[in-house]
A and B are shown apart, each in its own frame.
Chain A
Amino acid sequence: KQEVTQIPAALSVPEGENLVLNCSFTDSAIYNLQWFRQDPGKGLTSLLLIQSSQREQTSGRLNASLDKSSGRSTLYIAASQPGDSATYLCAAEFTSGGGADGLTFGKGTHLIIQP
């Protein structure tokens, strides 16, 4: 069974720090890996999508990397701000489902940025 795991489950850092969120997946055969942000009680906001042929993607202060061979992805947030406080979810689309198994999500990392 393919699984996605996120560590840590929760993280609290002072404003201005750079931080890294970790995501691991059990099967390197993926179509893509996507990072999302979720505010309490809300839907998911797509942050970055990394295709299986790519190594990283950047958007503003966010950088996501992908290492399929080790089954890992990281989300790097530079110069964190209180508005970055949210739950961050990573999700992989495994190829074993032929594109019909949807995204497999981790449980998320709950991030708090202290002003």
Chain B
Amino acid sequence: DAGVTQSPTHLIKTRGQHVTLRCSPISGHKSVSWYQQVLGQGPQFIFQYYEKEERGRGNFPDRFSARQFPNYSSELNVNALLLGDSALYLCASSLQRESSDEQFFGPGTRLTVL
């Protein structure tokens, strides 16, 4: 079975632009979470979606938004990009969010903002 997939692999944008990142969870997984990892740090939680509903949100500005589709794939959108948004964006999927499940991560999207 395929693991969590993310696209694109790499992305270069300029300040002020917007970006859309995509994630497909492991087949059968209904929960998707997004994390931001800047160089030298651990990942920081951005969003969690379960059954197309937002279940949790980390301490990120409103420029960050996400959604989950009926097939459980997800998009992360970032508007008005800042230099500080340059990071590795990681998507994780888990079976469900009614209990504490193991999270499986994708390879990430490397975003560079110039």
**A and B associate in one complex:** yes
Query: Would A43 and B106 count as touching, CB distance under 8 A?
Result: yes
Q: Which of B92-112 contact A (CB under 8 A)?
A: 92, 97, 100, 102-108, 110
Interface size of A in residues (CB-CB distance below 8 Å)? 28
Give CA–CA (A62, B32) in the complex, Å.
Answer: 27
Given known A42-B108, A43-B90, A43-B106, contact A100–B55 (CB-CB < 8 A): yes
Within the complex, the shortest CB–CB distance from A31 to chain B, in Å, comes to 4
Interface size of B in residues (CB-CB distance below 8 Å)? 28
Chain A residue with the shortest CB-CB distance to B6: A43
Which of A34, A52, A107 meets B103, CB within 8 Å? A34
Within the complex, the shortest CB–CB distance from A9 to chain B, in Å, comes to 10
Residues of A within 8 A of B88 (CB): 41
In the complex, whether B48 has a CB less than 8 A from a CB of chain A is yes
Which of B4, B44, B48, B90 meets A100, CB within 8 Å? B48
Residues of A within 8 A of B4 (CB): 43
